Amino acid sequence: MLEVVRIPVLSDNYVWLLHDDASGETVAVDPAVAEPVLAAATARGWRIGQIWNTHWHGDHVGGNAAIKAATGCIITGPAAEADRIGTLDRTVGEGDHVRIGDHVAIVMAVPAHTAGHIAYHLADDRIAFVGDTLFAMGCGRLFEGTAAQMFANMQRLATMPDDTRVYCAHEYTLSNGRFALTVEPDNDALAARVAAVEAARARGEATVPTSIGEERATNIFMRARDVAELAERRAAKDAA
């Protein structure tokens, strides 16, 4: 079995520790900073052997160098952004595989938020690390890509089994949900989810991971009927 640990850092980032008990291997996914990540691993008796980066932004790679200095770990990230992530040991792209113990993650190219953004899909374990591509009830801003790319990403992610757990990198759920209600005010599943998220946040609880099933029912970007509709919704969210 794989264990995933959430580490809140900065203002709203999440770093994920992925641990395989059988092999004793541990992966840090998108470490924004080093110290809380190293501390969380040490507290559990784990040693970080790998880092998986989804894209080049500093709040996803900022801890790379210090974690590598402390552990000697191998850092894997998108080949298309290798010139922007100076700490990479291995570069990967669409269809490549990375491993933790006997568990295999397939690399998916999901450009739009950044030009070379990737995700890691452990299909057999129903786990996906998606960086800033898919959020709970949201999607990433189109900093370096297009609405057409993001629409393709949403459609592709939607084909995963409903029980796939989706580990995104930010706690944006409440603002995403409130905006989504302005777009789909008659979506009963969405209204119920936003109410649950409001209660969870009031208690100081995290709202991710999410699941593909939840997103299919409540994510207005995954539910967009075409590129134009996604583009319109993304522009409106950016202006909100």
Give the pLDDT confidence of 185-236 residue by residue, as tens digits: 999 999 999 999 999 999 999 999 999 999 999 999 999 999 999 999 999 9
pLDDT score recorded for residue 47: 98
Decide if 5 contacts 44 (C-beta within 8 A): yes
Tell me, what's the pLDDT at 29? 98
DSSP 234: H
For residue 129, list its beta bridge partners.
120, 167
pLDDT at 119 over 90: yes
pLDDT score, position 189: 98
- Reply yes or no on whether the pLDDT at 11 is more than 90: yes
Beta bridge partner(s), residue 119: 108
Instruction: Choose, from 59, 117, 121, 125, the residue flagged as catalytic.
Output: 59
Domain housing 132: 2-239
The one catalytic residue in 19, 103, 121, 170 is 170
Report how many domains make up the chain.
1
170 catalytic per annotation? yes
Element (H, E) at 7: strand 2-9
Q: Domain with 51 in it: what CATH number?
A: 3.60.15.10
Which tokens belong to 46? 């784990």
More confident residue, 1 or 136: 136
pLDDT in tens, 13-38: 999 999 999 999 999 999 999 999 99
Inform me whether the pLDDT recorded for 1 exceeds 90: no
Residue 178's pLDDT is 98
Q: State pLDDT tens for residues 135-164.
A: 999 999 999 999 999 999 999 999 999 999
Per-residue tokens: 236: 């409106």
Q: Which two tokens stand for residue 19?
A: 């641990």
Q: Are 103 and 125 in contact (CB under 8 A)?
A: yes
**In the predicted model, what is the mean pLDDT of the chain?**
98
Give residue 114's pLDDT band: very low, low, confident or very high (50, 70, 90). very high
pLDDT tens readout for residues 73-86: 999 999 999 999 99
Q: What is the mean pLDDT of residues 172-178?
A: 98
Active-site residue, 121 included: no
Start-to-end CA distance of the chain, whole Å, equals: 41
- The H or E element containing residue 14 is strand 13-20
Q: What is the C-alpha to C-alpha distance for residues 184 and 115, in angstroms, rounded to an integer?
A: 30
Q: Which is the catalytic residue, given 103, 113, 117, 121?
A: 113
Asked if residue 111 has pLDDT above 90, the reply is: yes
97 catalytic, yes or no? no
Q: What are the Cα distances from residue 210, in Å, to 32, 53, 74, 178, 234?
A: 20, 20, 28, 16, 20
Residue 60 annotated in active site? yes
Cis-peptide into 31, omega within 30 deg: no
Tens-digit pLDDT profile for residues 48-98:
999 999 999 999 999 999 999 999 999 999 999 999 999 999 999 999 999
Examine the residue annotation and report whether 59 is marked as an active-site residue of this protein: yes
- pTM of the entire structure? 0.97
Q: Contact at 8 Å (CB) between 12 and 1?
A: no
Contacts of 130 (CB under 8 A, 6+ apart): 54, 110, 119, 157, 166, 167, 168, 169
How much is the pLDDT for 185? Answer: 98
Q: Give the separation between CA 90 and CA 155, rounded to whole angstroms.
A: 28
Report pLDDT for 19: 98
